Structure 1
């Protein structure tokens, strides 16, 4: 099957291309990056190639079939209901592309938020979606990242618009409890999603797998099965074989996340986001989860730094604000929740959090910033 690269900055172009790839006979769509030269053709049934570096900077081109994309869309409708969709995320990432796929599968044209994301733009797009069929209101849905939710809740106009949706899928990173409580108080119905490009977007909602999706914990790692799984990585058979396992006829995706599952999935962090401080393993995801429960630190990030005495330590990076607590309070909260070895060494206050186009914190940039500040506190 032929593969066509699409300008991911043009959501209407992405929508047109996905219409052909998902509902028609192709060609397959390449989004989010430069596809390797030999990959001008892809296996039959492929609908979408999403190339992303994520927060680690390691590029990967994930191949998704029509069946995987439509399975995710149909399972979402079965879980939260059918209706109209608003695209408020970059179309070049799986979360944004899947919003468009859901709209295509539902047979409704999606609304698209144009230009820079802001409460005013979001509210205008939401207002333009109001419609009814036979006198019955058509429910509206959208998908956001936590930073967008926080931006909307900081504005009365944005908060009202957020509450007008039947449900708002929120993924990309952990949703801080304080932010979830603010949204609920504003009347918004947030649905926490868990998934990745390899699972065609969110496949676990509020901890519960979508219909057809399997979850297991193997050696502490979250693994996922089901019809939404990607076919693998384009032109990378070794990585595909290492990441997608087949056991007793079932294909499992190794997420790299640590967690537990007793009918409800609880993700505790990344296996690759662990430091060894004074000989003790410390999950920075757990540290960050505790830090984000404190006032003024809902969107803070925790990153590793070298430490002459302990080997490794962590620092908190947060946007400066009047409610930011002192370091002593942060360290006390982390010590109580996790232990002495997990206490952050410092807090770095910045004017604006660097974000990836997906809305996630740019952790590569944050690590560089932390290293710079540690080597020379007068810089940065």
Structure 2
């Protein structure tokens, strides 16, 4: 029988203590009144989860515009938790670490997974290095790429680690290759109640039958493309209707796809269309700092390809030379200009806001 959103698994624990559905109200009030800011966010969400409504309001990340509040069905969150549990073979009594902000969907779903699946959840203050000072191991956790980058020394404290909230760079993937952790990149958004597909990131995860070149969907999720070759997600247990995205993909099947880039990032330069993310993938072999490809107006080309790097002390001439010697890069993909910035504009969840960052150059 499928659990509903009023169920609390008998094996569920929060910071080492079991709480019933009724008990959680008291915990939530305590967090709101006496907790630190990260605990207050968790408490506010718990109160929403325990009220009489069948939905919660969730804030989007704002990576492609202003954050907005949307309604998410509580039962959809239950189905999402069950799909994650099935995919990663999570069992009642498994330990989990919650180190994400609880004011966004990814952090909220960590709590719901624990409640529904019966996980023993430890909640710690979100930070760039959440594993620092932790002296125990966990069977499951979720982190952002930035958190993983800062936790590589201790990442073996996690058995299965899902990474989302931003693209996993090739540099980070190389660093994870020989780490003893089942590391997976996730694909999803607030509207899909976090991830609907995963891709393995390292050799250590090979025993779990997931591709390391493309994303594979969770149970009850199928995908297709629209006329723009953008991903369309059909997840009836999560959403009432298909979700049309702006992510350009290459389909491998109804349940697997390769992510190529964002439709709204496509550059038309001299009549040739470029997907910035594909150029970035090639450049990632020679650039260690954060960077991205964008376009700027050009009288002859219409738009020209430019490169922005987050490094105030960058040796531009040296980087230009390295790019020109990069054999994988087509001559038309070569950035016409390189700009260095001390800091990129980010969303509250750490994602780069490309347009706002580009506007810093004006």
What band does the TM-score fall into relative to the shorter chain?
0.7 to 0.9
SS in 1 for 2:350: coil
Q: After TM superposition, give the deviation of residue 182 of structure 1 in Å.
A: 0.7
Quick one: distance in 2 between partners of 1:343 and 1:163?
39
Find the counterpart in structure 2 of residue 16 from structure 1. 43
Q: How does 1:112-261 map to 2 (within 5 A)?
A: 112-114=123-125, 117-119=127-129, 121-124=130-133, 126-127=134-135, 130=137, 139-153=138-152, 159=153, 161-206=154-199, 207-219=215-227, 220-227=229-236, 229-230=238-239, 251-261=241-251
Normalised to the residue count of structure 1, the TM-score between the two structures is 0.72
Match 2:278 to one of 260, 280, 286: 286
Q: After TM superposition, give the deviation of residue 109 of structure 1 in Å.
A: 5.2
Quick one: distance in 2 between partners of 1:68 and 1:209?
16
SS in 2 for 1:110: strand
Quick one: distance in 2 between partners of 1:355 and 1:188?
28
1:63 is the counterpart of 2:71? yes
Q: Deviations over 1:304-363 (max 9, x none)?
A: 222233221232222337899612322553x734x3332212222333444322121132
Change (3 A) 1:167 1:54: same
Quick one: distance in 2 between partners of 1:228 and 1:169?
22
Find the counterpart in structure 2 of residue 241 from structure 1. none
Q: After TM superposition, give the deviation of residue 180 of structure 1 in Å.
A: 1.1
1:313 is the counterpart of 2:304? yes
Q: Deviations over 1:113-139 (max 9, x none)?
A: 326x243x5222x43x54xxxxxxxx4
Runs of 4 or more consecutive aligned structure 1 residues displaced over 4 Å after TM superposition: 321-325
SS in 1 for 2:70: strand
Change (3 A) 1:178 1:221: same
Change (3 A) 1:227 1:84: farther
Quick one: distance in 1 between partners of 2:334 and 2:221?
37
- Structure 2's unaligned 5+ residue stretches are 1-30, 200-214
SS in 1 for 2:242: strand
Find the counterpart in structure 2 of residue 240 from structure 1. none
Q: After TM superposition, give the deviation of residue 185 of structure 1 in Å.
A: 2.1
SS in 2 for 1:327: helix
- Is contact 1:276-1:282 (8 Å) kept? yes
Quick one: distance in 2 between partners of 1:100 and 1:323?
45
Quick one: distance in 2 between partners of 1:58 and 1:331?
37
Give the aligned length.
307
Change (3 A) 1:284 1:254: same
Q: After TM superposition, give the deviation of residue 183 of structure 1 in Å.
A: 1.1
CA RMSD between the two structures: 2.8
Quick one: distance in 2 between partners of 1:203 and 1:90?
20
Quick one: distance in 2 between partners of 1:123 and 1:192?
22
Find the counterpart in structure 2 of residue 136 from structure 1. none
The structure, 1 or 2, with the larger RCO (C-alpha pairs under 8 Å, 6+ apart) is: 1
Quick one: distance in 2 between partners of 1:80 and 1:330?
40
SS in 1 for 2:80: helix
- Is contact 2:45-2:102 (8 Å) kept? no
Change (3 A) 1:311 1:185: same
Find the counterpart in structure 2 of residue 234 from structure 1. none
- Is contact 1:331-1:344 (8 Å) kept? no
Find the counterpart in structure 1 of residue 261 from structure 2. 269
